[in-house]
Every structure is written in C-alpha cells, then in structure tokens.
Structure 1
Amino acid sequence: MCVFRSCATVFVPLLLAAVAPSVVALEATPDNDRFDCRLLTTEPTPQTARDWYELNLWAGHCYRYDAHAVRIGFDGVRTLVISHEVNDGVERGRARFLDGPPEVFERRSRIGRLGWAEGGSAPTIPAGIAAKISSHYRLSLAGEERIANRRAYRLDISPLDSFRYGKRLWLDAETGLTLKQSLLDETGRAVETFQLTVLERPRLHQGEVSIDAPREAPRDAWHIGWLPGGFSPQPVETHSGRHGSDVTHRLFSDGLSTFSLFVAPLGEIEPLAPGLHRLGVSHAVVRHRDLDGTPCQVVVMGEMPPRVLLRVADGLSWAAEDS
C-alpha cells in the first residue's frame, strides 16, 4: 500500500465537490429515497449565510454543467475541465487536467447520508449538513463580487475552534453553484484556491436524484479513542484497487472538513516512515502500532491541523483493550 499516492484519489473527489458539494430545509426526509431537483425553482431567494450554503449544497447535486477551472496550490497552477451530469438519478462528476501529468478522475454517486444507520435510518446529507456545521463554524456573507463573468456572493466559513480549517466560497447568484473556493489555515491564510474560469450551460436537472440507502456500520477490530467535536464516521465505499484487502480505510467528517484513516498489518504492506509528512495542503501522520499483538501501520491523512491528526492516530486502540 502506498497511501501517499492515494492523495490524488482523495483530492479530486473533493475537487469535484468544490463545484458540486453535497444542503435548505426542503422536504427531503430520511424516509425519502429520491429528491426532486425541480423543487429548487419554488424556493425564495436566500437571505442569510446559512440559506445560501444550503442552496449551494442542493445546487451541487441538481445542476448539470460543463466548466473550465484553475487550481492554485502547492504544485503551482493547474488547469482542468469539469463536468457534472445526472442520469437515472445517479450523479457523475468528471475532472480532466489539461497540463502536467495526464490525469482523469470520475465520481459516480448518490446523495449521501451523515452517518451509518446504527439500527435505523441515518439523516441525509442535504437534510442535515448545514445545521451540523453551524455548531462548529461561523457562516457570514461578505458582499457581492464577480467571478468567471458571473455575479457571486462571498460566503466566509470560519471555525469556532482550532481543530479544523476554514473556507471561503464564492457562490453563483443565479444557481448557487460554487464558482471559487479557498482553503484557509489556522492563520486565515489561503493555502489552496480552486476557481472556475468559465461555467458553461448550467441547467437544472428536470428530474430526481437518488438518495443512498442507509448502511450498517462495519465491525472494525480497532477503536477511535478521540475525535474533534462534530466529526463522525462516514458511510462511504472506500474499497480501492490501490489498496490490498487487508487495508482498512475509514472516512471521518464534520460536514465540511474530512480526514482518512488507514490501518494495515505491517507484514502485508510496504511500510512508510513513521512521523508527520507534508502532502501539499494535506498532512499525513504515520504510526507503527502493536494492536492486539499484530504490528500495524496507522495512517491518518487530511487537510487538517497536524496536531489533530497526531492526536487521532495516537488515540487508536484495539477494541479488546477497551473491554
């Protein structure tokens, strides 16, 4: 397993989510299995920062479009083209880089849920994510600007503690789609910016988008000892051809910030150097731990303050130890 190479597969789905994030108190209840995008045409113009963010989340699911974009990050400036479609209720996002190494990434998905079912239905992302992040971030509108030759409203999302990074979004006044996004570190400095230069033919999907069915949580042999407030395990499919069957990958999110956890027996993988590693705007913590007599490699990776990733990695324990 080379976890660091998987950064591209982690980044691009998030990059696609920057333009098509995953939520407005519309009638998408946990019992529904589909959301009708045409309901967006009946909603009044958002008035508050939270209203705009909710519209942004719905728009990311419901608009079909093509776009040209630029990413300014640790590796300089890269240009790409992006598309988002909805077919038979399933979303398909595609990103193709136009310079540097030839790379194409695709994501097929449904509207997700905020957690595992745990014996019942888990709330959908569109029904709960805006309320969830309001507990850990301050949302505020900062005026009108022009991005990609379109009117945009700037939305500042500032963390209420030191456990997560902030973001700044520029939302299209007509559709609510993200036209520009900056990731802000603890000092408020933009460490990475993603921006559309052209948004072509945005059109509302005249139909429904599927909502993912509730999923039962897997049984892991280890236990997370500490998580920042608001973070919870995400019910997403994390199997990958890049990782062997003995590698466990779990995803954790507070609705805005996300990190990955990998656990693998050391005898089955190529070990990585223990310690803290910088991966562009992300960090990765590598630990070699003995879990119930089995030497394992633990990797915690994400766009998070390093001390948070270190604490998560060091708090991992074998489930049997807790009992």
Structure 2
Amino acid sequence: MRVTLLLLAAALLLVGTAALTGCRARARDTGQAQAILLRALTDGQKVPYEGVKAARLRAPVGGTERARVLMAGDGRSRIEYLDGATAGVTVWDDGRRVWRAHPHEDLITVAPTARLDPALEQHRRDLVLRNFVPSLNGSERVAHRAAQIINLSPRHGGRPWKRLWVDAETGVVLASTDFNGAGQELRSTRFETFARPPAPPPPGDPRFTPPADLRRRARRQPHAGPLSAERLSRAVGFPVCMPAYLPAGFEPGGGYVASCPFCGKPTARMEFTDGLNTILLLSFAHRCPGEPSQPGDGAGGEDTVQRRVGNVTCVAVGELPRAELERILQSLPGDPSPRPPVAAGRS
C-alpha cells in the first residue's frame, strides 16, 4: 500500500510539473506575442517603405482591390488605388493636409490631417491588450520577407478578431485577416511587393502633395476630428446620438463630421472602439429620399440598425451581433442631447 501511495504521489508530481511547465511556456509565448504586437503598433508605424497592397473582401460579397502605398514614416503618405471600385483615386497626406482626388467625379477635396495625440494612441494600444489576447501562430514569408504570425483572440466571446503577419525586421504589418465572431473570414490585406528606400523621403518631397493645378481646384472640407459629442453637435447644428449602453470593452473614440452618402448633407459620426473593432453611430437630422427604408447588412459584413429619436435618425453599424446594436439604440435617451455614456457594458 505504501509503495502504491508513493507511486501515485510521484505521478501527481510529474503531472503538476508538466502543467506548470506548460503554463510557463504559454506565458512566455504570450509575452513574446505581446512584444511583437506592441512593436507593430509603435515602431512599425514609423518605417518608410513603398509597395503594392491587395485587399480582399470575402463576405458577404467578394472582391479585390489593389493600391500602391508610399509611407515616409513620419505621417506623410500617398495611396494610389489601382483597381476595383476605387480605381484611379489618389490620397496624399503631407503631414498637415489630406487631399483626395476622385478622377471619375472630377473632384478633389482637402482637409486638415487628423492625428491622435500620443496619449490617445497609447490608450488605443491599452484597449487592444485589455480586450484581446495575443498569441504566436507560426511564421510565413510575405512579399519575400519573414513575418511572424500573431492571433488577437477576443476576451469577450462572439467578438470579431484579427490575425497579423508582422515583418520580423521592421515591425510593419505585412498582412492581416479579419474574422467575425464565428471565426469566418471577412476580409484580408497583403503586400504583394514591399521595399524600404535607402534613405527616408526628405522634407518637401513632392510625392506627398498633388500637382499644383489639382491643389488650386481642391474643395475644402471641415476639420476631420476627432471631436467630442458636444463639439460635434455644434459643428453639424443638431444634437448627435449618444447611447447609455456600450458592449463590454468598448469606449468612445471620438466624433467626425461626415456627409450623407445619399444627398451630401452634413451628418455626424460617433465612433466607439475596443481597440480593434469599431461601432459607428450615425446621426441624420434630415429626411433623405435616397435613404434606405430598412437597415440590413453592410458591404463589409457588418450589420446596421436604426431608430428615430425626435427629429434625428440614429443608425448603428458594426460587426457585432444584431442584438447588441439594437440594445445600443434602445439605450438612446428620448432627447438626443449629448451626455457621457455609462461604463462600457452597463445600462
């Protein structure tokens, strides 16, 4: 009997040691994955490069668009869309202004560059780590470069999540795939070519501004934001919709002045984020003939629901369960005047 007990104790000790070793290995992998992720969110944003990037939409409708991307590593950029619905569109950012040229509409717009201050960028990184668990998922070559694969698994079940391919040398995200809460692939991006210049682009590099004739014709747009709900309400001239309920992990991310996609009149767009995913709450103070009478699925797989509050139509858009979007709209006060939302996940 004594021998049996000793053997049992030894077996339990081995099992416990193996479990402890497994926990330590998982913790080590999580720490390494977190370090790779943080590098992508910081150093990877400051790397000058150029390349061709393909974006593929898989649900609910498929399609692929390619763009030629030039990044200075200091906030300046140029993106030329090569094919798909946006073929011919070019976006220039010289660090102070953003121009968008739409050749098919013979239209070019210019607006101040929207930049998050360092504190907000840090908060966004904190949100990612608070709501998602990074883990290693192997390695692969993308655009002839070694990349480490990171899964960002949601801490809250049923949430969309992301897989990243992070360049081992620079920290730039070379590819990404978005999944819905059921694990179905929604969209992906991937560099087909990627190259680093021998030296960063110099100040005043003309590649980051449109030609002079286009600049002269540019139609000025209002400041892009982000704005508080109060400032956004003043900018659009009507009270924007602010919910009393947000799903767990989501926080207000700022507001933006937008144009109605059907008639061009001013609208308000409030964003709420968990670090990776975004819920849009659109506010319209006008009846638009082109506005759809019923909400439905968006082109990117997101759902939409809407509610009329007084004279304001509020539309919630996001890749969350429809019941969550409906709960957000149900929490809107009868008077849509801006007010601080309650703590995320509560009503």
What is the TM-score when the length of structure 1 is the normalising length? 0.68
Deviations 1:126-167 (A, max 9, x none): x23332222211111112221221101000001111363100
The 5 A counterparts of 1:234-273 are: 234-235=253-254, 237-240=256-259, 242=261, 244=264, 246-267=266-287, 270-273=290-293
Moved more, 229-238 or 146-155: 229-238
Structure 1 residue 311, shift from structure 2 partner: 2.2
Moved more, 104-113 or 176-185: 104-113
Structure 1 residue 110, shift from structure 2 partner: 5.6
Asked whether the 8 Å contact 2:133–2:155 carries over to 1, the reply is yes
Which residue in the other structure is 1:65 paired with?
49
Asked whether the 8 Å contact 2:228–2:255 carries over to 1, the reply is no
Asked whether the 8 Å contact 2:186–2:300 carries over to 1, the reply is no
Deviations 1:76-130 (A, max 9, x none): 342412323348x5433414132455242526446414xxxxxxxx8230x2333
CA distance in 2, matches of 1:280, 1:95: 21
CA distance in 2, matches of 1:140, 1:244: 44
Equivalent position to 1:104, from 89, 104, 110: 89
| Distance change (3 Å), C-alpha of 1:207 and 1:251 | farther
| Structure 1 SS opposite 2:76 | strand
Asked whether the 8 Å contact 2:229–2:254 carries over to 1, the reply is no
> Is 1:180 equivalent to 2:175 in the alignment?
yes
Asked whether the 8 Å contact 2:167–2:173 carries over to 1, the reply is yes
Asked whether the 8 Å contact 1:69–1:80 carries over to 2, the reply is yes
Structure 2 counterpart of 1:124, one-letter code: L
Report sequence identity in percent: 21
Which residue in the other structure is 2:103 paired with?
none
Which residue in the other structure is 1:55 paired with?
39
Which residue in the other structure is 1:123 paired with?
119
CA distance in 1, matches of 2:202, 2:160: 35
The 5 A counterparts of 1:297-316 are: 297-316=313-332
Which residue in the other structure is 1:82 paired with?
68
Structure 1 residue 225, shift from structure 2 partner: 1.8
CA distance in 2, matches of 1:69, 1:236: 29
Structure possessing the higher relative contact order (Cα contacts under 8 Å, 6 or more residues apart): 1
The runs of 5 or more residues in structure 2 that have no matched partner are 1-29, 99-112, 204-224, 234-238, 341-347
Asked whether the 8 Å contact 2:53–2:69 carries over to 1, the reply is no
| Structure 2 SS opposite 1:112 | coil
Structure 1 counterpart of 2:38, one-letter code: E
| Distance change (3 Å), C-alpha of 1:201 and 1:86 | closer
Which residue in the other structure is 1:227 paired with?
246
Structure 1 residue 171, shift from structure 2 partner: 0.5
Structure 1 counterpart of 2:189, one-letter code: F
The 5 A counterparts of 1:156-235 are: 156-162=151-157, 164-201=159-196, 205=200, 217-219=228-230, 220=233, 221=239, 222-235=241-254
| Structure 2 SS opposite 1:84 | strand
Asked whether the 8 Å contact 1:165–1:186 carries over to 2, the reply is yes
CA distance in 2, matches of 1:193, 1:322: 37
Structure 2 counterpart of 1:247, one-letter code: T
Structure having the higher Rg: 2
Structure 1 residue 73, shift from structure 2 partner: 1.4
Q: How many residues align?
A: 260
| Distance change (3 Å), C-alpha of 1:135 and 1:247 | same
CA distance in 1, matches of 2:172, 2:140: 14
Structure 1 residue 233, shift from structure 2 partner: 2.2
CA distance in 2, matches of 1:225, 1:141: 37
Structure 1 counterpart of 2:322, one-letter code: P
Structure 1 residue 253, shift from structure 2 partner: 1.4
CA distance in 2, matches of 1:321, 1:259: 17
Asked whether the 8 Å contact 1:78–1:97 carries over to 2, the reply is no
Structure 1 residue 181, shift from structure 2 partner: 0.6
What is the TM-score when the length of structure 2 is the normalising length? 0.64
> Is 1:94 equivalent to 2:79 in the alignment?
yes
Moved more, 241-250 or 296-305: 241-250
Which residue in the other structure is 1:38 paired with?
none
Which one has the bigger helix percentage?
A: 2
| Distance change (3 Å), C-alpha of 1:135 and 1:322 | closer
The 5 A counterparts of 1:271-310 are: 271-287=291-307, 289-291=308-310, 294=311, 296-310=312-326
CA distance in 1, matches of 2:67, 2:116: 25
Which one has the bigger strand percentage?
A: 1
CA distance in 1, matches of 2:36, 2:198: 18
